[in-house]
Chains A and B, each alone.
Chain A
Amino acid sequence: MIRRLLLTVWLAAVAAATALAFQPPAAQSEYVPVKDLPPVDQLPAAPLLVAAYSFIWLVAMFYLWTIWRRLGKVETEMRALEQRRSHSRR
């Protein structure tokens, strides 16, 4: 008798736990304005994304320009040196 009773209680507990687990989320009791959210949730993502992409563009272009400039200096110096040498040979 006691065993049947315990089994019934156990089955009822399992059924209740299962039913509670599959309950839909609680209904909203109030609306919260976005400005009241934590600062991180308020932060817009788009400017951060645009900043990241723009930074890569700027850095790549700037670096390519520095290579081009340095190469230009070296090649100008080479041409000047070769001209000087050809003049001195004459």
Chain B
Amino acid sequence: MKKAFLPLLLLTTAMFAYAPVVIAHADYESTMGLVQKVMYFHAPSGMVMLISAVVCGVASALFLWKKDPAADRVAIAAAELTALFGLIVLVTGPLWARKAWGVWWVWEARLTMSFVGWLIAVGYLFVRKYGGPGSDKLGAALAVFGTANVPFIYVSVNIWRTMHPMTTVVPTLQAGMRGAFWFSALTLFLLYGLLLTARVHLERQRAALDQLYLSEED
């Protein structure tokens, strides 16, 4: 993975740089026009946020069950990325909504639940940083709750009457929009994979440093 990291990072950067060209060539949506193109980054960022919350929750459950420190390292890295991609979702969404809905924010089901999901990820990070001894287990329990929130975020637009576009939008995208969407999604999935790898490596190095200090004390 160490050898593949730099070429993959360069590929992702190139894809990111080329994405606006692909998006510019995508068909315009009939009612929203140009501002709808925010969706090509907003929706995949939302997908990455939800995937990351699930990764964090599963790794935390494994940590609670098997006491495996490697799972905890994945959990803390995934939590940070959930907060990061959540921030992207919560900023790009209102930029689209301002033009499409006429308001920056509405306290409707999808937006509120996404905000709560982001707060859980940020809460996890605060617990890990300032929680003191035992914060790893407390944080893991919090992450499991965060994962339980994910299906509700996803189906909220289909269950409750909301202003947010439904989950049927992406699977039914026309050929003129589908390519641009999946190109952007692949770019963000790659970025997520790379950032997660780098962040897990950082946690591994921190654990190695702690071991060095412990062995010096002995």
Q: Which residues of A contact B (CB under 8 A)?
A: 38-40, 43, 45-46, 48-49, 51-53, 55-57, 59-60, 63-64, 67-68, 70-71, 74-75, 77-78, 81-82, 85
Contact = CB atoms under 8 A, between A and B. Distances in A.
B32 to A, nearest CB: 8
A3 B35 CA distance: 58
B91 A48 contact: no
Which of A57, A74, A75 is the most central at the interface, judged by chain B CB atoms within 10 Å of its CB?
A74
Interface in B13-63: 16, 19-20, 33-35, 37-38, 41-42, 45
Contacts of B208: 78
A49 B19 CA distance: 13
A63 B80 CA distance: 10
A45 B33 contact: yes
14 contacts: A39-B102, A40-B98, A45-B33, A45-B99, A48-B38, A51-B95, A52-B41, A52-B95, A55-B95, A59-B88, A60-B191, A63-B195, A71-B201, A81-B212
Interface of B is mostly: helix
Interface string B104-127: 000000000000000000000000
A16 to B, nearest CB: 31
A43 B99 contact: yes
B38 A71 contact: no
A55 B95 CA distance: 11
Interface of B: 16, 19-20, 33-35, 37-38, 41-42, 45, 84, 87-88, 91-92, 95-96, 98-99, 102, 191, 195, 198-199, 201-202, 205-206, 208-209, 212-213, 216
Given A78-B212, A85-B216, A52 B202 contact: no
Contacts of A43: 98-99
A67 B195 contact: yes
A60 B38 CA distance: 17
Contact of B16 (A49, A57, A68, A85): A57
Contact of A77 (B191, B199, B201, B209): B209
Given A53-B20, A74-B202, 6 more contacts: A38-B102, A43-B98, A46-B34, A59-B84, A67-B198, A74-B206
A40 B19 CA distance: 27
Given A60-B191, A67-B195, A55 B88 contact: yes
B95 A48 contact: yes
A71 B205 contact: yes
A48 B206 contact: no
Nearest to A85: B216
